Amino acid sequence: MEEQQQHDEPMLKTCDSEATSSYQLGGFGVDAAIGESKRWLQSLEKSIRAIVSIRLLSVRAFDGNGASFSVATGFVVDMERGLILTNRHVVTPGPVVADAIFLNKEEVDLVPIYRDPVHDFGFFRFDPKKVKFLQLHEIPLRPEAAKIGAEIRVVGNDAGEKLSILPGILAKMDRDAPSYGSSTYNDFNTFYYAAASSTSGGSSGSPVLNIDGCAIALNAGGAKKAASSFYLPLDRVVRVLELIQQGKPVPRGTIQTIFRHTAFDEMRRLGLPGETEALVRQQFPQETGMLVVDQVIQGGPAHDQLRTGDVLIKFGGQYGATFLTVEEYLDAHVGETVEAQFQHGDEQYTATISIQDLHSITPDRYLEIGGGI
């Protein structure tokens, strides 16, 4: 089993590399490479003005995390309101004291304003008026620009070095959420992107940039003994950012169930009828599998209806449910019910499940007595 890590601690790392170059007769390949290099240079010159090194002190042990000091990365997504996007495991669910260091070494205090209850992203706020000697820049979020084969740059505080620029090629867009261990925070009910960009400690919260200087994903974690890095898609991040900008609350719905994406071959072994598979494949030719119930939380809205291994056929009346479409429906119908159709072996059944407010079961305060929580 591969070992993986969250990038929230400084980690020095040395490696040897050999410079290589390639040429193409006629000059066409060389001219194209020079033009592309200029575009990267221009976009990076702007982007690095939006990227900050974050120093944070977790002052209390909370939600599985101990009191600690660590460094990470974030980037400005709204310079007028002073909003910085980073990882949830950087913002942390507990009390934290943090500041940000800009490219020109100016420092500003950070205040956490949002931590997603499930996914690995959150927002800090700073006072833009405190940045006096740097022309601020904000990085636009473009989740739709993420494509397999896209050339990327992961820019951030890798290994605590303040600014590192790591290249890569986006290779996977349907990787399971990385597992960091049983006793720590793990994301779920989402795909992750993957590329061999060799990120390490301190690069949590770094933007994954394309050649246009847009963030197409958020760096979150990586393998300890390989070059693999894992990035959070930005689809739901964009929604939360827009609601924060409008001064509105962020509805989050849940049925307290963890799904896993499973290939069609495995679906057949779980009892999925061939005609159902054919229907889903016809309507969604890009799909390679379907969602299966992996865990149902005891006492939750679905605990007496769903069973591990049940295949999700329809959700909210729609075939081809994905992590994204399920979450969109849940977030838009908090406090209501949803009808979902499942396959359990040879049996097909419909469950009517209440959609719970996810924030209502997420701790946002604590009582400290005698030094304990």
**Which residues are the active-site residues?**
89, 120, 203
> Could you give the C-alpha distances from 305 to 2, 28, 194, 205, 298, in angstroms and in order?
34, 63, 35, 38, 11
Compute CA 15 distance to the chain's CA centroid, rounded to the nearest angstrom: 28
* Torsion region of 235: left, alpha or beta (phi above 0 gives left; psi -120 to 50 gives alpha): alpha
> Could you give the C-alpha distances from 317 to 8, 31, 168, 326, in angstroms and in order?
41, 53, 39, 11
Contact between residue 78 and residue 96 where contact means Cβ atoms under 8 Å apart: no
Length of the chain measured in residues? 373
For 237, counting Cβ atoms within 10 Å of its Cβ (0-12 exposed, 13-18 middle, 19+ buried), the class is: buried
Contact between residue 291 and residue 321 where contact means Cβ atoms under 8 Å apart: yes
Contact between residue 355 and residue 248 where contact means Cβ atoms under 8 Å apart: no
Non-local CB neighbours of 281 within 8 Å, separated by 6+ positions: 264, 287
H-type alpha helices, 48-96? 88-91
Give one DSSP letter per residue of 241-267, joined into a string.
HHHHHTT-----EE-SEEEEEEEHHHH
Give one DSSP letter per residue of 136-199, joined into a string.
---PPB-GGG--TT-EEEEEE-GGG-S-EEEEEE--EEEEEPPP--TTS----SSEEEEEE---
